[in-house]
Structure 1
Amino acid sequence: MTASVRFKFFPARARLLAPLLATGLFVSGCASMAGLHTHARMGDPQAIAASGRSLAGVALSEAAWPRRDWWRDYGDAQLDRMVGRALAGQPRLRIAEARLRAAEAVADVAGASLEPQVNASLRSTRERFSEHGTVPPPIAGSWQTVNDVSLGASYELDFWGKNHAAVEAALDRAHAAQVDLQAARLMLTTSLVRAYLRLDAAYAQRDLAQATLAQRQHTLELTRRRVAAQLDSSLELTQAEAALPAASEQISAANEAIARIGNQIAALEGQGPDASLAISRPRLAPVGQIALPADLPIALVGRRPDVVAQRWRVEAAGHDIKVAKARFYPDISLNAFVGLQRLGFADFLSAGSRVLGVAPAISLPIFDGGRLRGNLALHQAAYDATVEGYNAAVLAAVHEVVDQLVSLRWLDERQREEAQALVLSRHAYALAQARYRAGLASYLQVLSAEGQVLAQQQAVIASQARQRELRLNLVQALGGGYEPAATAQASLTRSATP
C-alpha cells in the first residue's frame, strides 16, 4: 500500500506534522531493509599469482602491450587492406554499434528524470451533460462545448538519489556497450588474421605437395630406366606410378583449403564470395621475439575489453541496488499548472477563464506485501552474479596469457626436435635414393624414407602455423591494443560496492 499526500492549502499544524511523518516513514524504510545485503566482493588482480615460473624465460617490457593496429606487425599490405574493409563493412560490427546507440538512448531517457517536465495540452470537447448529474441547471441536460488549455510543470525532488542512481546505471551500461563494440572489433580482427594465417599455411602445404609430386615424377623416370635395364620389375614401376595420384590428391586438397579459407576471409570482410578470387598469397613478415608487459596481471584488467565491460556492468548493478533502496523512502514532487477553462468560446481568452494550481506531493510506501524487499533482494543477487562474473573474467584473462606462453615454450622445444628430425630424415632419404640408383636398395625403402621426410615437413609447417596462431592468441589475450579513455578509467577506480 502506498500513501500519497498532496499539500495545497494546509493548516500550519499539518505542515509541522508532515516532516515528522516523513522522518518516521524514513526510519521505517530503513528497518524494512534489515538483513538484506550483497555477498560477492570484487577480487584483487594483484592476488592472482602470475610470475616466477609462469613467466620464466619471457622478456618483460613496459612497451610490450599490443598497439591498436597490431596486425600491421605482420608486414602484409593485403592483410592491412582486408582488416580495414572488415572494420568498415562487417554487419556484426554494425549490430554492436546499434546496441551502443540503444544503450546511449536509454541513458538519455533516464537522464530526463533529473530535469523538470513541462507539458502543454489543448482540448475542446462537445458533450451533453446529464440532467441528473452533478452539474446544475441550466447546463444540465444541454449540449455544451468545454474548452481547456493548460500548461503543466512537475519536478521530482531526488532526496534519496534514486533518479541519479538510475542515470548512473544507464550510463554504466552505455559504457559497457561501448567496450563491447571494441571487443567485437577485436574478435573480428583476430578471426580475420587467424584465417589469413591458415591461408598462408595452406599455401605452404600446397608447395610441399607440388615438390613431392615433382620428386615422385623424377623417381618414376628413374624406375622406368631401371625396368628397361631389367634392374627392377613391373611391380616397382606400378608402385612408382601409383605414388603420383596420391601427390596430386594432396595438391587438390590444398587448393580446396585455399579456396574455402579465401571464402571465409571474404565473409569476415563483409564481402561476397567473388571477393575471395582477388586474394593473393600472403606475404607475412617473420615473427619477432616474444615480450610481455611488466605490469601483469594488474594492468590486464584495464586492457581487456571483455573485463572492462564486465566491470562497467558491476558498476551498473551497484547503482541498481541504490535505486531499489531508494524506493523504500518517500517520493517528493512539485507540480503546478496554469491554463484557461470555459464552457463555450465566449470570453475564453479573458482573465476570468484562467485556472492556476500548485500541488506539492509526497508518496509514502507503507505496506506492499514484500514487493520492495523482493525487488532489492533481486538486484542484490544480480549484483553478486555480476561481480563473480567479473572475478571469473579476470582469472580467465590471466590464465589465457599464461596458457599461450606455456604452449609457446613447449612449441619451441618441439620445433628444435622437428628441425633435427627433418635433417636426419632428409639424409636418410638421400641415402635411400643413392642406394636405389646403385641397385642396392628397393623402391619400398625409397618410399619409406620419402614418407618420413614428408611427415617431418608437414610437422614443420604445422608448427610454424601453430606458433603464429599462439602469438595471435597472445595479442588477443592482452586486449588487442585496447586502452580505455582516461575519464572512463578514472570512473572505474571508484568502489563498485553498493
Structure 2
Amino acid sequence: MRLDSPSRAARPRLIPSALLLLAVLGLSACADMSGIQPHAALRDAASLGLPAEASPPLTVDAQWWREFGDLQLNRLVDEALVSNPSLKIVQARLARAQAGAELTQAATGPQLNATLDATRQQYTANGAVPPPLAGTVRESGTAQLSGNWELDFFGKNRAALEAALGSARAAQADAEAARMLLASNVARSYFQLLRLNEQLGVAHRLLAQRTQALRLVQDRVNAGLDTRLELRQSEGTLPDARLQIETLQEQLTLARNALNALLGQPNRPLALDLPALSAIKNIANATTLPSDLLGRRADIAAARWRVEAATQDVSSARSQFYPNVNLVAFAGFSSIGLDRLLGAGSEQWGVGPALRLPLFDGGRLRANLRGKTVDMDIAIESYNAAVIDAVREVADQLASRQAINRQQVEQQAAQSFAENAYEIAVQRYEAGLGNYLQVLTAETTVLNQRRQGVDLAARALDTQVALMRALGGGYRADLPSNTAQK
C-alpha cells in the first residue's frame, strides 16, 4: 500500500474547497471602501501654544480643597461627593458603559446553548408527510447542545470591543470631571457665602457709623451749630444702610440654598460658622501653562477616549466588508415519540464552518462606514474644542490671578488713604471747620473701598478654585500613547 494514496484520494475534495475560498476572498477584495476617509486631525501641544519643554513640576493634590485649611469646607465637599444626585447619575452612566463593554467582550468568545423542545402535533394526511405519520397525532422532542464561535479573522469583534472599552474609559473620565466640578462648585459657593457674610459685616458697620453720625448731628442741632438740613441729610442715610443689609441677607439665604442643593440636602438648616476671608490660605502656585496640561484634564481624557472609540467603530465598519466566518456545531437527540428521545438511533450531531459575505446590499455598508467616519470627525473636533477651551481657561485664570494680586495692592493703598480722609473729615466737622456733606462723601469712599476689598479677596479665592479645576485638580489621564502629552 502506497503511503501517498490517502492524500491522493483527499486531493479531489480539497480542490473545490480551495477554489471556493479563493473565490470568496476575491469577491471580498471587490468590496468598495474608496473615497471614505476622515478629514479631521487631532491638535497637538505645539499647535496649542503649550511649552515644548517640560515646565517645572506642578503638583496638584486630588483633594486640593483641603489645602485651604478650612475644616468646614472639607466637610462640605466630602458630604457633596457622597450625596449629590447629579454625581450619582454620572456614576450610574459609568456603570452602564462598563456593562456594555462586558457585553461586547462576551460576544467575542464561543457561545454554547442548550435546547429542550417537546411538541404534541397532528400531522397532515394530505401533505408531504408519509405514512404511518400522515393523519396521526404524535409527540416529538429534541434535546440538543449547540455551539457557535465567530472567528474574528478581520478584527470586527476586536474593534467593537476596543470601541466599547473606549466608551467605558470616556465615561470614567466623565465621572472624574463631574467629581472635580462638584468639588469646585461647593468651594466657590462656600467662598461666596464668606464674601456675602463679610459684606454684611461692612453694611452693619456702615449702619452703626451712620447711627453714631446722626447722634452727633442731633447734638450739634441742639447746640445751634447745625440746621435741620444737616439733620435730614443724616437721617436719610439710615434707610439706605438698612436696605443694603436686607439685600445682603436675601443673597445669603439664596447662597445657602444653592450650597444645600449641591450637598443634596435642600431646605435644610445649614449651621455654619463662617470665618473671615483673610483666614483662608492661598493654594494656587502655578504661574505658567504646564506643558503636560492635556494629560491633567479629565474632560480632555474623556474626549480623547471618545476619539479612540470612534476610531475603532470605523475599523469595525470597515471589517464588515469582509467575510464573516463562524464555526457551528450541535449534538443531541431528536425523535418522534418522547419515549424514544434518549434511545438508540435518536442521536444527531453536526459540525462545520459557516461563511457569510455581503455582495449586494444597496450601499448599506458604505453608508454605515461613512456615518462612522463622520462620527470620528465629530469626536476629533470635539476633542480639539475641549483642548482649546482648556488652554484658554488656564490662561484666563493665570491672568486673573496675577491681575487680582496687583489690584489688591492698589486697593489696600486706596482704602488706607480713604480711611485717613474720612477721619480728617469727621474731625473737621466736629470742630466746625467742615460741613456734613464732606463727611458723607468721605464715608462713601471708605465704604466703596471696603466693599472692593471684600470682593477682591473673594475673587482671589474663587480664581484659585477655578485654577485648580482648570489644571485638572490632581487628575492624571491614562491616554493612548500617541496623544498623551509628555
Q: What TM-score, normalized to structure 2?
A: 0.93
Task: State how far apart, in whole Å, the 2-side matches of 1:282 and 1:124 are.
Answer: 78
Letter in 2 for 1:21: A
Return the offset for 1:267.
Answer: 1.1
Contact 1:48/1:297, CA 8 A, preserved across alignment: no
Return the offset for 1:290.
Answer: 4.5
Return the offset for 1:206.
Answer: 0.9
Which residue in the other structure is 2:191 paired with?
197
Cα deviations across residues 108-150 of structure 1 (Å, max 9, x unaligned)?
1111121100011111111111112221012111111111111
Return the offset for 1:347.
Answer: 2.2
Give the SS at the match of 1:114.
Answer: coil
Change (3 A) 1:362 1:201: same
Return the offset for 1:51.
Answer: 5.8
Task: State how far apart, in whole Å, the 2-side matches of 1:346 and 1:406 are.
Answer: 87
Which residue in the other structure is 2:20 paired with?
18
Which residue in the other structure is 2:303 paired with?
310
Which residue in the other structure is 1:155 paired with?
149
Task: State how far apart, in whole Å, the 2-side matches of 1:374 and 1:465 are.
Answer: 55
State how many pairs are aligned. Answer: 470
Which residue in the other structure is 1:7 paired with?
none
Which residue in the other structure is 2:331 paired with?
338
Task: State how far apart, in whole Å, the 2-side matches of 1:470 and 1:495 are.
Answer: 29
Letter in 1 for 2:20: A
Matches within 5 A, 1:179-258: 179-258=173-252
Return the offset for 1:494.
Answer: 4.1
Return the offset for 1:297.
Answer: 4.3
Task: State how far apart, in whole Å, the 2-side matches of 1:288 and 1:61 are.
Answer: 20
Letter in 1 for 2:355: I
Return the offset for 1:291.
Answer: 2.5
Contact 2:284/2:468, CA 8 A, preserved across alignment: no
Change (3 A) 1:259 1:289: closer
Contact 1:107/1:170, CA 8 A, preserved across alignment: yes
Cα deviations across residues 144-183 of structure 1 (Å, max 9, x unaligned)?
1111111100000000000010001001100000110001
Contact 2:146/2:329, CA 8 A, preserved across alignment: yes
Give the SS at the match of 2:114.
Answer: strand
Task: State how far apart, in whole Å, the 1-side matches of 2:137 and 2:16 are.
Answer: 42
Task: State how far apart, in whole Å, the 2-side matches of 1:240 and 1:61 are.
Answer: 58
Contact 2:283/2:464, CA 8 A, preserved across alignment: no
| Residues 1:402 and 2:390 are matched in the alignment | no
Greater Cα shift, 154-163 or 297-306? 297-306
Give the SS at the match of 1:272.
Answer: coil
Which residue in the other structure is 1:449 paired with?
442
Give the SS at the match of 1:144.
Answer: strand
Task: State how far apart, in whole Å, the 1-side matches of 2:232 and 2:295 are.
Answer: 65
Return the offset for 1:222.
Answer: 0.7
Q: Which runs of 5+ in 1 are unaligned?
A: 1-9, 53-59
Letter in 2 for 1:376: L
Task: State how far apart, in whole Å, the 2-side matches of 1:82 and 1:222 are.
Answer: 46
Letter in 2 for 1:455: N
Which residue in the other structure is 1:169 paired with?
163
| Residues 1:393 and 2:386 are matched in the alignment | yes
Return the offset for 1:421.
Answer: 1.8
Change (3 A) 1:289 1:110: closer
Greater Cα shift, 411-420 or 91-100? 411-420
Which residue in the other structure is 2:75 paired with?
81
Which residue in the other structure is 2:34 paired with?
34
Matches within 5 A, 1:92-103: 92-103=86-97
Change (3 A) 1:289 1:346: closer
Task: State how far apart, in whole Å, the 2-side matches of 1:239 and 1:162 are.
Answer: 84
1:366 paired residue among 359, 381, 385:
359
Task: State how far apart, in whole Å, the 2-side matches of 1:235 and 1:50 are.
Answer: 64
Contact 1:303/1:479, CA 8 A, preserved across alignment: yes
Task: State how far apart, in whole Å, the 2-side matches of 1:306 and 1:483 are.
Answer: 11
| Residues 1:271 and 2:262 are matched in the alignment | no
Task: State how far apart, in whole Å, the 1-side matches of 2:199 and 2:442 are.
Answer: 19
Task: State how far apart, in whole Å, the 1-side matches of 2:312 and 2:400 are.
Answer: 42
Change (3 A) 1:78 1:424: same
Task: State how far apart, in whole Å, the 2-side matches of 1:450 and 1:237 are.
Answer: 16
Contact 1:45/1:297, CA 8 A, preserved across alignment: no
Give the SS at the match of 1:352.
Answer: coil
Cα deviations across residues 171-204 of structure 1 (Å, max 9, x unaligned)?
1100000110001101101111000010000111
Task: State how far apart, in whole Å, the 1-side matches of 2:304 and 2:112 are.
Answer: 37
| Residues 1:49 and 2:49 are matched in the alignment | yes
Return the offset for 1:424.
Answer: 1.9
Q: Which runs of 5+ in 2 are unaligned?
A: 1-11
1:328 paired residue among 314, 321, 324:
321
| Residues 1:133 and 2:132 are matched in the alignment | no
Letter in 2 for 1:217: T
Return the offset for 1:470.
Answer: 1.2
Cα deviations across residues 97-116 of structure 1 (Å, max 9, x unaligned)?
11011001110111112110
Which residue in the other structure is 1:69 paired with?
63
Letter in 2 for 1:248: R
Contact 1:61/1:292, CA 8 A, preserved across alignment: no
Letter in 1 for 2:442: A
Greater Cα shift, 175-184 or 447-456? 447-456
Task: State how far apart, in whole Å, the 2-side matches of 1:432 and 1:50 are.
Answer: 54
Task: State how far apart, in whole Å, the 2-side matches of 1:290 and 1:168 are.
Answer: 38
Task: State how far apart, in whole Å, the 1-side matches of 2:455 and 2:69 are.
Answer: 21
CA-based RMSD of the aligned residues comes to: 1.9
Give the SS at the match of 1:238.
Answer: helix
Letter in 2 for 1:152: S
Task: State how far apart, in whole Å, the 1-side matches of 2:49 and 2:92 are.
Answer: 39
Which residue in the other structure is 1:355 paired with?
348
Contact 1:223/1:232, CA 8 A, preserved across alignment: yes
Give the SS at the match of 2:329.
Answer: strand
Task: State how far apart, in whole Å, the 2-side matches of 1:173 and 1:263 are.
Answer: 36
1:423 paired residue among 399, 416, 420:
416
Give the SS at the match of 1:40.
Answer: coil
Which residue in the other structure is 1:5 paired with?
none
Greater Cα shift, 281-290 or 251-260? 281-290
Return the offset for 1:343.
Answer: 1.1
Greater Cα shift, 145-154 or 266-275? 266-275
Task: State how far apart, in whole Å, the 1-side matches of 2:50 and 2:26 are.
Answer: 54
Task: State how far apart, in whole Å, the 2-side matches of 1:375 and 1:293 are.
Answer: 48
Return the offset for 1:384.
Answer: 1.1
Task: State how far apart, in whole Å, the 1-side matches of 2:16 and 2:125 are.
Answer: 39
Q: What TM-score, normalized to structure 1?
A: 0.91
Letter in 1 for 2:29: V
Return the offset for 1:339.
Answer: 1.1
Return the offset for 1:287.
Answer: 3.8
Which residue in the other structure is 1:493 paired with?
481
Give the SS at the match of 1:359.
Answer: strand
Task: State how far apart, in whole Å, the 1-side matches of 2:83 and 2:162 are.
Answer: 33
Give the SS at the match of 1:360.
Answer: strand
Letter in 2 for 1:493: S
